[in-house]
């Protein structure tokens, strides 16, 4: 019988260090490190955007297969086209099969949804259980605006009459008519890709969601064979220290993240002159936010940093009194929310999605996704920042249990159950 205290786990990641693009990559890295600490052998399978084909760091083996697109570590994420074409399906499947043919793995753990076809095909051939952690809603709907207001994905008619016009309003307002027409065909293609990924997802041995909120949305769309395991975090909660009079935002500058609300919320809160707003991130709303800073006369109070390294971003969280994260879409989890709390930084976020399950109105406040309510909660949390920081320290043991110890133990139980089911 397989010694389940020492499993060989292969994680399939669309991006991985040094080409990490957001919280998903850090969540995968933290989980890999924690599994290694528990005695398991973990490897990563990822495209080679311009690094060594194989590398080992702190006992974590990274396998990079040939890929057509090269990036620098500072580059933004590339278009989904690169992970949804025939070349991708063929290469990811072939090189995954080659890797597994040379090494024995007990579990294939899909961290990036676009690896689902390769994992299912190779897993079936080699009789290896496949688990997928779904971190967004794109296998339900490629645009997902329908899920901002309801749990069921849109019909094809709604996709054309609601989701695409909403996308055009948010993302292509200044585009030419020709580009808007081309965009419609691209969206239709992505709709078909979502359908294919959904078909493959029904063949995995286990689906993992990050929050109960995310699970309810997928259950409403027929994916019910699942469990909930939160993202993990590395290290202990940072001790209390003097904070700057600073509100911080960390994330992509996109409508779903509510980035266009940051300056209006900050201005509406009418905070003391010494309080500053630091916006960390990049995205197509950068220009609009710069215009808002002038419009609301916040030139001395608001600063955009662009994209910072993960380490520097966490340092700013540690220095700040409040993290303002006004998401307008139902966040599956809320990595920035968790990182803020573990750096003793209370959070103001919306009632949508997973973040509210993390803060529980103990480590910050949730608000309706409106400027008046968010500005009101921002004033409250900023005024009581010391109180919320002490709450974080008071609940340190339970936070460590929920987001450090428990996730890796839950994954171990899932792995063990799948291996037991595989045995004759």
Task: Using pLDDT thresholds of 50, 70 and 90, give the confidence band for residue 371.
Answer: very high
User: How much is the average pLDDT of 166-193?
Assistant: 88
Cβ-in-10-Å burial (0-12, 13-18, 19+) of 68 comes to: exposed
Q: How confident is the model at residue 2 (pLDDT cuts 50, 70, 90)?
A: low
Over the chain, what is the mean pLDDT?
92
Task: Encode pLDDT of 55-77 as tens digits.
Answer: 999 999 999 999 988 887 666 67
CATH architecture of 246-399: 3-Layer(aba) Sandwich (3.40)
Q: Are 146 and 158 in contact (CB under 8 A)?
A: yes
Q: Do domains 8-233+404-422 and 246-399 have the same CATH topology?
A: yes
pLDDT greater than 70 at residue 226:
yes
- Rg of the chain over Cα atoms, rounded to whole angstroms, equals 22
Q: 243 is written with which tokens? A: 């904070």
Q: Is the dihedral of CA 83, 192, 26, 316 positive or negative?
A: positive
Q: Are 333 and 354 in contact (CB under 8 A)?
A: yes
Q: Quick one: average pLDDT of 107-119?
A: 96
Alpha carbon distance 130, 271 (integer Å): 51
Instruction: Classify residue 351 by its DSSP letter.
Output: S
Residue with tokens 């994330």: 251
Q: How many CB atoms lie within 10 A of CB 94?
A: 14
Question: How far apart (Å, rounded) are the C-alpha atoms in residues 100 and 87?
Answer: 20
Please indicate whether residue 311 or residue 204 has the higher confidence score (pLDDT): 204
- Can you tell me the mean pLDDT for 25-48? 94
Q: What is the CATH number of domain 8-233+404-422?
A: 3.40.50.2000
Contacts of 200 (CB under 8 A, 6+ apart): 116, 117, 120
Mean pLDDT of the region 249-261: 94
**17 band by pLDDT with thresholds 50, 70 and 90:** confident
Q: Distance from CA of residue 8 to its chain's centroid?
A: 25
H or E segment to which residue 276 belongs: strand 276-280
3-state DSSP helix/strand/coil percent for the chain, to nearest 5?
45, 15, 40
Query: SS3 of 180, please?
Result: helix
The pLDDT of residue 74 is 61
Map out the domains of the chain as residue ranges.
8-233+404-422, 246-399
- pLDDT one-digit tens code per residue, 316-365: 999 999 999 999 999 999 999 999 999 999 999 999 999 999 998 999 99
Which range, of 26-35, 75-84, 107-116, 219-228, averages the lowest pLDDT?
75-84
Please choose, from the candidates 318, 315, 317, the residue with its C-alpha nearest in 3D space to the C-alpha of residue 239.
318
Identify whether the C-beta of residue 268 lies closer than 8 Å to the C-beta of residue 376: no
Residue 40 has pLDDT above 60, yes or no: yes
């Amino acid at each position: 019988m397989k010694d389940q205290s020492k499993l060989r786990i292969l994680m399939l990641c669309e991006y991985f260090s040094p080409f990490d693009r957001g919280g998903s990559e850090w969540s995968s890295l933290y989980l890999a490190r924690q599994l290694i600490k528990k005695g398991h052998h973990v490897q990563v399978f990822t495209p080679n955007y311009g690094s060594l084909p194989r590398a080992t760091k702190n006992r974590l083996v990274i396998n990079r297969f040939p890929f057509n697109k090269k990036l620098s570590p500072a580059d933004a994420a590339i278009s989904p086209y690169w992970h949804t074409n025939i070349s991708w399906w063929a290469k990811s499947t072939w090189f995954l099969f080659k890797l597994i043919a040379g090494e024995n793995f007990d579990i294939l753990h899909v961290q990036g949804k676009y690896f689902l076809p390769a994992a299912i095909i190779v897993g079936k051939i080699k009789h290896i259980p496949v688990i997928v952690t779904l971190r967004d809603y794109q296998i339900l709907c490629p645009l997902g605006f329908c899920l901002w207001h309801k749990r069921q994905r849109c019909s094809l008619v709604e996709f054309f009459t609601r989701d695409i016009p909403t996308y055009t309003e948010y993302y292509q307002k200044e585009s030419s008519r020709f580009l808007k027409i081309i965009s419609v065909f691209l969206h239709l293609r992505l709709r078909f890709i979502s359908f294919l990924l959904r078909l493959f997802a029904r063949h995995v041995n286990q689906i993992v969601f990050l929050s109960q909120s995310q699970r309810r949305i997928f259950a409403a769309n027929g994916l019910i064979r699942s469990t909930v395991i939160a993202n993990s975090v590395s290290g202990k909660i940072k001790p209390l220290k003097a904070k700057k009079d600073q509100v911080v935002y960390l994330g992509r500058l996109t409508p779903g993240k509510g980035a266009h609300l940051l300056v209006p919320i900050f201005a509406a809160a009418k905070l003391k002159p010494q309080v500053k707003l630091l916006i960390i991130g990049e995205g197509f709303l950068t220009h609009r936010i710069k215009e808002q800073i002038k419009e609301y006369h916040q030139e001395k109070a608001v600063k955009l940093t662009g994209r910072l390294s993960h380490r520097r971003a966490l340092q700013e969280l540690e220095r700040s009194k409040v993290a303002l994260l006004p998401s307008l879409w139902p966040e599956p989890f809320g990595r920035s929310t968790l990182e803020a709390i573990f750096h003793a930084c209370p959070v103001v976020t919306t009632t949508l999605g997973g973040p509210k399950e993390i803060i529980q109105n103990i480590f910050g406040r949730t608000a309706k996704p409106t400027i008046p309510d968010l500005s009101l909660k921002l004033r409250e949390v900023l005024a009581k920042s010391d109180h919320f920081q002490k709450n974080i320290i008071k609940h340190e043991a339970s936070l460590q249990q929920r987001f450090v110890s428990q996730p890796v133990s839950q994954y171990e139980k899932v792995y063990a159950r799948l291996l037991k089911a595989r045995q004759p």
